[in-house]
Amino acid sequence: MGTQETRIFNQWRGVDLANVLYLKKCQSNSWKVCHKYECKIYGRLYPRLLPSVVRTVMQILLRKKAKSLPEGDWQDFLNLQAHLEDIKNDSARNGRGSAKWQDVELMSQATLEYSQVIEPSDLIKLTLDEVLNLETEGMRLYSVSEKASPLEKTGLLGQAMGLFHTVKDMYPLWRYPWPTIRHAVILAQMTLEHWYEALGHALKSYFFIEPVLYPITWDPLRAMRTFLLVKIMIEIEYNKSQSQDAGSALGNLDRYDINWPVAISALMAEVQTAIPKGFGTDSGFAREFEQLQRGVGLEDGGWISFWGREREKLKKAAQEMVD
């Protein structure tokens, strides 16, 4: 390392650079090349640190804006191989439950926000801080709701859902903690026997959330959520048969003309297929499934040719019933 090395422990331009090891020559070169463009940005952000990927891209954009980046370097950057589709299709998740593509989106938003090289579009308005604040407040309401009465619970969870609904064009349905809160809403609505609302959220989850979070069809959590949807449908079919009130909440489902026995049979078959790998045939879940199957008294196979049409009806309902 040599005598030219220096450890910086003082505060410089408002930024604590303790424990940063730098050669004096490298420090000087870094300032001339790029740090003079980014220093004020880091000063505003301190003590928060940007990911190294964000910083690297931001340096390139800042230097391009300042016309200090050689054209050859800029062309080399543009000619880098794109992995956009690979990243979008990558199912790996971080510790917060976010997909890799979502992390890339957030880093891109941070790059645009802090470099101010171009004006963010309407679809890139959420900064990292805003996302964290949104998630923190959503989970606070969720935690408070756990100790509330069923009616109070739905109100608190409704507030939490409303937070994410306001940014739904920028915040995907499957990003944590929105799915967790939605599942709590489903359970709360079932407790209150609000079957229409429970169905709307369960269908939204079935079509647009669970396939992303649990891409393996026999995933235990995915199967359990589908089983919950089946239970809701059974309650709806029973309640609709007992009431002819077209003005009720369940009466609103008439416009979809859903064949409930076919839908229930098809979803039951999906759950049944998942049991051997996801739970085991001797598991408690398998026994609960068999008990419900006997109680419903569904016949095997008769629904298959009708399921595609009914599935499209349910998907349309998932898009329209709730946000």
pLDDT value at position 108?
66
The per-residue pLDDT string of the chain (323 residues; one tens digit each, 9 = 90 and over) reads 344 333 333 333 344 444 445 556 677 777 877 778 778 777 776 666 667 777 787 788 788 878 888 888 877 776 676 666 666 666 655 544 455 666 666 666 666 666 655 444 433 445 556 677 788 898 899 999 999 998 999 999 999 999 888 777 667 788 878 899 999 999 999 999 999 999 999 999 999 999 988 889 899 999 999 999 999 999 998 887 655 544 467 788 889 999 998 899 899 999 999 999 999 999 999 999 998 888 776 656 566 778 889 999 999 999 999 87
The label of the residue with tokens 């079935």 reads 206
CB-based contacts of 50: which residues, under 8 Å, 6+ apart? 42, 58, 110, 114
The length of the chain is: 323
Buried b (16+ CB within 10 A) or exposed e, 252-279: ebeeeebbbbbbbbbbbbbbbebbeebb
Q: How far apart are CA 117 and CA 119, in angstroms?
A: 7
DSSP string for residues in 153-168? HHHHHHHHHHHHHTTT
Distance (Å) of CA 77 to CA 67, 118, 316? 15, 18, 43
Which residues lie closer than 8 Å to 163 by C-beta, 6 or more apart? 134, 137, 138, 141
Predicted pLDDT at 152: 94
Instruction: Using the structure block, give the residue that is written with the tokens 């969870």.
Output: 157
Please give the pLDDT value at position 92: 58
**How far is the CA of 118 from the CAs of 42, 58, 111, 175, in angstroms?**
18, 11, 10, 26
Sign (positive or negative) of CA dihedral 216, 220, 225, 227: positive
Position 155, amino acid = G
From residue 97, give the alpha-carbon distance in Å to each of 103, 210, 224: 10, 13, 19
Contact 234, 264 (CB under 8 A): yes
Cβ neighbors of 169 (< 8 A, separation 6 or more) are 123
Phi then psi for residue 23, to 5 deg, are: -70, 140
Beta bridge partners of 315: none
* pLDDT reported for residue 115: 61
Name the 3-class secondary structure at 94: coil
Residues 6+ apart with CB under 8 A from 109: 120, 124, 126, 127, 128
Contacts of residue 185, Cβ cutoff 8 Å, sequence gap at least 6 = 154, 157, 158, 161, 197, 201
> Which residues are within 8 A (CB) of 184 and not within 5 positions of it... i.e. 6 or more apart?
142, 145, 153, 157
Query: Residue 7: in which H helix or E strand, if any?
Result: strand 5-8
Residue 89 to residue 97: CA distance in whole angstroms: 16
Using CA atoms, how far residue 248 sits from 34, 203, 204, 236, 251, in Å, is: 65, 20, 21, 12, 5
Q: In sequence order, what are the beta bridge partners of 11? A: 16
